[in-house]
Structure 1
């Protein structure tokens, strides 16, 4: 167990024990320094409430919230439930005014992949990130039949948010979704930022990964997938992004 994991375990223990607020604050700040996100620590309080009771969870929440304020750590983004055609999803938001920017995530993860970077573009902008069909809150949605379904869903998100036009940012398949929406509804797109995104189908690569997920299970994808997504240095550091990806991959439904 590394230092980051030990700090999170210590925060959990102290929150459940109660009566150790000073030490809880110290280890909360240490957990933040070692790469844990504010959302992880606040979610931990919800978990404590189930097993140690609400009073101790609320006390821990107050201590953690004060530590977040003291370190200048951003609070988790606000979440808005949205109905998109035939399924429900969620939209995260940062920023109160300015031009709208919509972030579209990669395959196998969810909107939270954007959480560590949403604050920076949210200065003078409204930044949104959502779970697309088959991912995150939208897992289990009716299966898509074409990329046009993903593009139509993105336009439906714009409609639900009351956005006439938006700047679109997409990573990997998220970039393909953004391109699809731009081709079908060019008047709704102010600009496109495409990050590591294909501009044409690559059936051999995608088919082989899909088959591997179906035949070997998603657990077998934990080793090969992060090596495509992260540098060796990032994998060795095992920061929040790596831990998040490793947590999401085995939860992904092979059918999706």
Structure 2
């Protein structure tokens, strides 16, 4: 009798787990970064299924190649990091895989492989960095700072959708830019209702990073450190 009840509970748990994970996750927040000579790092984020904190992708894998239809190279990285494990509804996992031995100034196509309940990504492309000292072609760099305050306070001071408007402006110049250098804040997220209009810190950052993926998945994007300094006058 007890064996039957245990088996029944196990079957119910598996069915519930299967139902919860029925909607497959997708890799998001995909971004590119330089990784030394002739190498590029592909990073991304995925959510675990609700009520599960185990890694949905224990062997992060990226397929890549010189043709959209022939991704004949494979790179795997077994290291990944979890964030916000206390939130059993939305535990975040972050991954990064290096693509090495790339030809300089060459268009590559890549796709993040599927795993468990996480679907494969779309196929994206990038141009690998040129050889150091190569001056045959200019490198176009877009430099700007601070995407601005969103939420209720941002709407009052700057008009609605400041972040989205800034993002659309960057997307319009995307075909002409090789590298984005961002001085300062990407998104304001400090659990202040006036700033976030109801979004938590994690929700605000996830929204901003995912919205920027049209740029960061196909261009190298670097965010510089921004420091606010407060000058204090002390009595002599």
- TM-score clears 0.5: no
TM-score by length of 2: 0.28
Q: Taking CA–CA contacts closer than 8 Å with sequence separation of 6 or more, which of the two structures ends up with the larger relative contact order?
A: 2
Structure number with the higher strand fraction is 2
TM-score by length of 1: 0.26
Normalized per residue, the structure richer in helix is: 1
Larger Rg: 2
